[in-house]
Chain A
Amino acid sequence: MLTSHRLIAVSAIALGAALAVTASTPLVAQDAVEEDQGPGGGVLMLRAKGDGTAVSAIQLGTDMDVTVSGQVARIRVTQAFRNTSTKWVEASYLYPLPEDGAVDTLKMVVGQRVIIGKIKRREEAQKIYEKAVKDGRKASLVEQQRPNMFTNRVANVGPGETVIVQIEYQMPVRQVGGAFSLRLPLVVGERYVPPHTIVSQAALRDARTITAGAIVRPVPGQMLNPVSIAVHLSPGFTPAGLKSPYHRIAVEGQGASREIRLAGGQVAADRDFELSWRAASNEPVVGAFKQKVGSQTYVMATVVSPITATAPPPPREMVFVIDNSGSMGGDSMVEAKASLEHALRTLRPQDHFNVIRFDDTMTQLFEHSVRATPEQVQTAIRFARSLEATGGTEMLPALKAALADAATVGDASTVRQIIFLTDGDISNEEEMAAAIAADQGKSHLFPVGIGSAPNNYLMARMATMGRGTYTNIGSAEEVSPKMTALLDALQRPAVQDVKVTVSGKVDLTPKILPDIYSGQSLVVLGRTDKLQGTMTVSGRIGARLWSSTLDLSQAVDSPAVAKLWARKRIDDIETERTLGSLDSAKADEEIADIGLDHSLVTSQTSLIAEDRKDPRRPANEPLTREELPLNLPAGWDFDKLIGGEAARLAMTNAAAHGSSVADTAEAVELPETATNFAATLANGLLLALIGGLGLLWQRRRKVAR
């Protein structure tokens, strides 16, 4: 009796095991979007204005003159608008700026006269400009469309005439891992405008403004929008290891200063310009700069975090989000896939991970984050390799999915890191920031800006809101070193709970201090009545306390500090607006005040230069408006973007529907398309074998008895 019981138990276990084989669901790709966004149809706001191969009336040439003193760069951009036609033309040019740049000067050269631009409230500047346009007088208007995207309009350029417009801006030098770098964007990548954001005429106007009039198919041997760049570098120490990863440069000079030029003279404005350098010796680098304006003194201090030792790495959950939309087509997709694969290969079995890809649809590889076993990692690598760049850029659902999974793995000590690989070419940056704010810091976000001209404003904003850092990967050669550096920094403990203390009353910015990752630096700006004493930045690295103190009396004079303070203060206001702690109208008002006080172009203030004297265009001559065509950022796949299905649809759509936005696609449900006969067959045979063996064993026992 006892034996028979045991046998039943044995066979029950065998049956259970066999059924378990059938029921287990390994390697199932699943999508867990909390809110279904419906079939993926999107609008890339490409206007059917011709493909830009037609000769445009206005030819544009740009010269950038960059002066780096200490840790501030001042950039003077001179643009010559030459009218090669026989018509009177109004030209409009969409140009990019560093995400932390602050435009403060506009000059327009008409004949022998230089007209200095004035800072005005946006609406007022627009009125002045429109009046000048109507009167036939020359005028130039610089407006901010995004913190890193501006439009420059020049009115009443006569036949054969050239108008020179000069703008100036400044930006802080970035300091990472002991290297200093400056990144100047030269072209705006075509932005994807998610259809759900186009809800009003104002939104539609915005969408039209931030997208180029035309994008030009690259023609070998032809250069559109040529740029020349000169950098006067005086970092305050002897620079060494000068590098420009995306352009060939010629370097001259010795001692503590260098002159850098583009080796080929001019280049097409089709990729970011980057220059990096190091200090030749280990002499301490000056970390504090000051500027006195009226009764106020402004101060800027850079604090470099220590390179911390790799601690026993805490359990982590890494979520990789990869953009495979049409704008990633070409080199960007290759770089993004290689970066993802590089990161996946560094996962350890104790880590959890997941991969999410998105275009205007999205896929979550695993329903929830899974343990990084070699098999799961292989599955993810296969998934990554299968990605093709196509379609629109619906980034928000992917971000929300990455943030949503937070509660499913590990305990409170689990470090949750989201690595976001994208070119960032979307128009709804603020929605992204708001989604991260809503997460309340459960996840840390590390955007990786892919391609030759990524939207670094989005990268910086996501990193700030998500308490992470951002990295740029602009070429295939950079994948390995930059990803290694990023992943390495993520393995080392960061300085957390950062506090800044200063003697005296100082209005400091940024208000929300980020975690400082190993080798990264923190730039703090302040405004005070009286600059004195020291500034101490303190925090904790794991359980250890860390602090760094700067003597402010050693601060070196620099003419840019006040404006950089103002620029950073605006970021604070935007963050408060996103977090909901500041009313939107009040935020606009504060930004306008800062813009007017410091003569900065902001979302609320514009620079306007008008020729008050002589109306040049005869009243009976019409004015032709022209938006200057843009280059496609280097490495972009023109056909993927412009010739691609998504773009073609958007084009017909935008043309056909004007202000309304219609779905460009129809959903089709796909049937179940796997029989899995192989698995069923294997399970069946396994069961038959178990049963057969059992019967055989029974027979033997009987015979034996």
Chain B
Amino acid sequence: MRAATLAFAGVAAFGLFEAASAAIIPAKAVVAQVLLERAFDRSVATHQPVKPWPWADMAPIARITIPRLGLREVALDSGSGQALAFGPTFLPTAAAPGAPGTAVAAAHRDTHFRGLGEAKIGDTIIVEGIDGRSTSYRVDSLQVTRWDRFAVSSDRSAARLALVTCYTFGAVTHGPMRYVVQASKI
């Protein structure tokens, strides 16, 4: 009898732990954005990257807004999985936002970039930097690609922006496909 009780208790405890660790993800995403918003505003005021909380290993560098979708997120400067939990991150391997070349920002499809699937060609994306300047982009392509087969143009003559998230939206497992919204500076 005791063995069975133990097994059920174990299953219940494991389930609760799993549920809690999952539930914390969206909570963390929302709370982090509040702190990041604050840190970003201070960064703009001081023109210095300000850490959102003392032990953070990344700092906000831009605010991405897609007015039509009501999407507004503060983006971070490191493309690690940890930073992705808190906000969209610009990939260090690509160009810096606003600089010539293509800047690539990635975020989770089920938290910060949940609305990205609704983006349409012609939508405006605004990226504010911590220097207070904002750059507007116009969406000109939507594509689905494999994570390791994505390429950006090596053309340095124009500033472009790519927003990346997992594809398909609404799927329940990890997959190799990514959804990419590309935009050019206007």
Contact = CB atoms under 8 A, between A and B. Distances in A.
B164 A676 contact: no
B51 to A, nearest CB: 21
Interface string A382-426: 110011101000000000000000000000000000000000000
**A14, A390, A673, A685 — which one has the most chain B CB atoms within 10 A of its CB?**
A673
A27 B8 CA distance: 32
Contacts of A664: 153-155
B150 interface: yes
B60 to A, nearest CB: 18
Contacts of B16: 684, 688
A39 B167 CA distance: 19
Interface string A654-693: 0000000001111111111111111111011111111110
The 3 closest A-B pairs by CB, nearest first: A691-B12, A687-B15, A684-B18
Given A691-B13, A698-B5, A390 B172 contact: no
Given A667-B151, A673-B113, A687-B12, 5 more contacts: A24-B173, A363-B145, A388-B143, A674-B166, A681-B23
A220 interface: no
B15 to A, nearest CB: 3
A41 interface: yes
Given A676-B173, A680-B21, A681-B22, A29 B15 contact: no
A689 B109 CA distance: 28
Nearest to B27: A677
A195 interface: no
Contact of B106 (A671, A675, A692): A671
23 contacts: A4-B2, A27-B168, A28-B175, A386-B144, A668-B104, A670-B104, A670-B178, A671-B147, A679-B22, A680-B18, A680-B19, A680-B25, A681-B23, A683-B15, A684-B22, A687-B12, A687-B15, A688-B11, A688-B16, A689-B15, A691-B10, A691-B11, A691-B15
A674 B166 CA distance: 6
A27 B168 CA distance: 9
Contacts of A681: 18-19, 22-23
B7 A669 contact: no
Contact of A673 (B2, B25, B108): B108
B69 to A, nearest CB: 17
B18 A675 contact: no
Contacts of B142: 386, 388
Interface of A: 3-4, 7-8, 11-12, 14-15, 18, 24-31, 36, 39-41, 361-363, 379, 382-383, 386-388, 390, 645, 648-649, 652, 663-681, 683-692, 694-695, 698, 702
Given A668-B91, A690-B11, A675 B4 contact: no
A686 B19 CA distance: 9
| Chain B interface residue bracket vs A | 35 or more
A672 B174 contact: yes
A667 B143 CA distance: 15
Contacts of B172: 26, 676, 678-679
A702 B2 CA distance: 11
A671 B173 contact: no
B146 A363 contact: yes
Contacts of B11: 11, 14-15, 18, 687-688, 690-691, 694
B171 A675 contact: no
A663 B154 CA distance: 8
A702 B175 CA distance: 47
A677 B111 CA distance: 9
A645 B141 contact: yes
A692 B13 CA distance: 9
B56 interface: no
A674 B110 contact: yes
B12 A688 contact: yes
B110 A677 contact: yes
Nearest to A685: B19
Contacts of B109: 673-674
Contacts of A30: 175-177
B7 A694 contact: yes
A705 to B, nearest CB: 10
A677 B4 contact: no
A379 B167 CA distance: 12
A691 B81 CA distance: 32
A694 B4 contact: yes
Contacts of B176: 28-31
A677 B174 CA distance: 11
B149 A684 contact: no
**A26, A379, A649, A665 — which one has the most chain B CB atoms within 10 A of its CB?**
A665
Interface in B103-141: 104, 106-111, 113, 140-141
Contacts of A688: 11-12, 15-16, 19
B26 interface: yes
A640 to B, nearest CB: 10
Contacts of B147: 669-672
A394 B91 CA distance: 27
A677 B84 contact: no
Contacts of A645: 140-141, 153
Contact of A390 (B20, B143, B165): B143
Given A386-B144, A676-B172, A11 B152 contact: no
**B106, B107, B171 — which one has the most chain A CB atoms within 10 A of its CB?**
B171
A382 B168 contact: yes
Contact of B150 (A27, A667, A687): A667
**A41, A678, A684 — which one has the most chain B CB atoms within 10 A of its CB?**
A684
B15 A698 contact: no
B9 interface: yes
A8 B7 contact: yes
Contact of A675 (B10, B108, B141): B108
A400 to B, nearest CB: 15
Given A388-B143, A677-B25, A669 B148 contact: yes
Contacts of A14: 11
Contacts of B107: 673
Contact of B175 (A29, A649, A679, A689): A29
Contacts of B166: 672-674
Nearest to A702: B1
A569 B13 CA distance: 76
A666 B154 contact: yes
B14 interface: yes
A352 to B, nearest CB: 20
A387 B144 CA distance: 8
B85 interface: yes
B17 interface: yes
Nearest to A1: B1
B94 interface: yes
Nearest to A696: B8
A680 B93 CA distance: 31
Contacts of B7: 7-8, 11-12, 694
A379 B173 CA distance: 14
Contacts of B17: 684
A671 B84 contact: yes
A363 B144 contact: yes
Interface in B72-118: 79-81, 84-85, 89, 91, 93-94, 104, 106-111, 113
A512 B178 CA distance: 44
A28 B173 contact: yes
A685 B19 CA distance: 6
Contacts of B20: 684
B1 A698 contact: yes
B153 A665 contact: yes
A35 B79 CA distance: 28
A668 B152 contact: yes
Contacts of A29: 144, 167-168, 175-177
A4 B148 CA distance: 51
A27 B171 contact: yes
A40 B110 CA distance: 28
A633 B170 CA distance: 39
Given A681-B19, A688-B12, A26 B173 contact: yes
